[in-house]
Amino acid sequence: MDKIVVEGGRQLNGEVKISGAKNAALPVLVAALLTDGWNTFKNVPDLRDIDSTRQLLTHLGAAVERSGETVRINAAGLNNPEAPYDIVRKMRASILVLGPLVARLKRARVSLPGGCAIGARPINLHLKGLAALGAAIDLDHGYVEAKADRLTGADIYFDIPTVTGTENLMMTAVLAHGTTVLRNAAREPEIVALADMLTGMGARIEGAGTSIITIRGVDALNPTTFTVIPDRIEAGTFMVAAALTRGQVTLRGCEPAHLEACTDKLKLAGAKISVEDKGLTVAGGDAFNSVDLRTQPYPGFPTDMQAQFMVLMSVANGLSVISETIFENRFIHVSELRRMGADIRVTGNTAVVRGVSHLSAAPVMASDLRASASLILAGLVAKGSTEVNRVYHLDRGYQAIEKKFAALGAAVRRLPA
């Protein structure tokens, strides 16, 4: 398996182009199942999760073509209601096909995603919503089976705002009879992007980006063209990298409005940030202040940036308290950071980080996507050569990360297995 080797101590300077967002691309590509005819997607990142989506949609009967950053999908041939274990186990977001399959084929059989390194990650709220729309749900041999001759709009309350749950039910409700109201819906920019895509297909959706989304069902949708929004987590990762190495990096093609929580925390830590249209520049100060943070659903601080921010706090002055409120096991990077000399103590969902003067390189193991990114960040400032193993996690969600870092002056290279 490939590994990434990082020689610490180089400042990052220059410009980096932010790719399309993984978590926005996945649901919009799946939404192509809701109509026949060619949909066109632009700014699609080149990632392993996108390949898994292509494999899944093809398995279901859709035609998928890719040329550079453009993907075209035609679901006229959609005929297979089953998402098999072999694909779902590689990518939990495969559960997104559940609602669209029921809406188009009246039935779906989707392997139940298991837990993953960061938590149990149940899908009970997806299923509760689908049942409210009229689907009969069974769990059988590790698969969710859902059937509905007719889907009818309903009032659905989420106990917890769930991103893919909200997306799944939006995609189901657009073809249901009558009106659906999603309450306590997720408000992430990826939800707004999906609503924009569906609206472009002829769906009637109001309130995306707020906690109440109203969807008036239509009989059929049309193919459309959609540009994937920039990846706010990739952007946030480069923002932390710039600050951490005390360099100056301009991010091109990002959406500063989606980055406010990160911008705020980085400024409090001492970084200088100037915002431009579709871009921003981050410059690291001489030293960092400790800052506390608590992960929250959007617009709060994203759980997908917690590990990266913890690296910055590991070398800041003083004590930082980091609370993870979204996933129950998202501190798996802590033991690896400790091996690099970080002083971090975890009690329950809280990590107390006491800044140290420097980190020291060590071989480390990536355990999930964002934890992997945090280990590269740690390598950028550690003394010596850090080896990050199991990088397939990174390839799921960061496009050419080692090349982007290298272009900014970092000594980061991939060693093939």
Catalytic sites, residue numbers? 116
Three-class DSSP category at 159: coil
Residue for token digits 């272009």? 407
- At its nearest, how many Å lie between ligand EPU and the CB of residue 242? 21
Secondary structure element (H or E) that encloses residue 197, with its range: helix 189-200
CB of residue 220 to ligand EPU, shortest distance in Å? 27
125: contact with ligand EPU by CB under 6 A: yes
DSSP 117: T
* DSSP label of 62: -
Query: In angstroms, what is the minimal distance from the CB of 381 to ligand EPU?
Result: 23
| CB of 123 or CB of 170, closer to ligand EPU | 123
With CB under 6 A as the contact rule, which of the stretches 133-141, 159-167, 170-178, 311-319 interacts with ligand EPU? 159-167
Q: Which stretch binds ligand EPU (CB under 6 A): 103-111, 121-129, 134-142, 263-271?
A: 121-129
Least CB distance to ligand EPU at residue 229 (A): 12
When asked if residue 288 is in the footprint of ligand EPU (CB under 6 A), the reply is no
Alpha-carbon distance of 330 to 305, in angstroms, equals 11
d(CA 150, CA 233): 38
Is there a contact between 190 and 23 (Cβ–Cβ < 8 Å)? yes
From residue 386, alpha-carbon distances to 188, 377, 399, 405 in Å are: 34, 10, 20, 15
Distance (Å, whole) CA 400 – CA 54: 19
Give the nearer residue to ligand EPU in terms of CB position, either 295 or 314: 295
Q: Does 119 bind ligand EPU (CB under 6 A)?
A: yes
Q: Does residue 236 sit in helix, strand or coil? A: helix
Residues 167-196 that bind ligand EPU (CB under 6 A): 186
Q: Residue 118 Cβ, how far from ligand EPU at the closest point, in Å?
A: 7
Closer residue to ligand EPU (CB): 211 or 222: 211
Interacting residue with ligand EPU among 303, 308, 320, 374 (CB under 6 A)? 303
Q: Site map for ligand EPU, 361-380, x if CB under 6 A?
A: --------xx----------
Q: What is the DSSP string of 276-305?
A: ETTEEEEE--SS-B---EEB-STTSB-GGG
Strand partners, 265: none
Rg (CA), the chain: 21
**Contact call for residue 48 and ligand EPU (CB under 6 A):** no
Binding stretches for ligand EPU (CB under 6 A): 23, 26, 93, 119, 121-126, 160, 162-165, 186, 303-304, 326-327, 369-370, 397
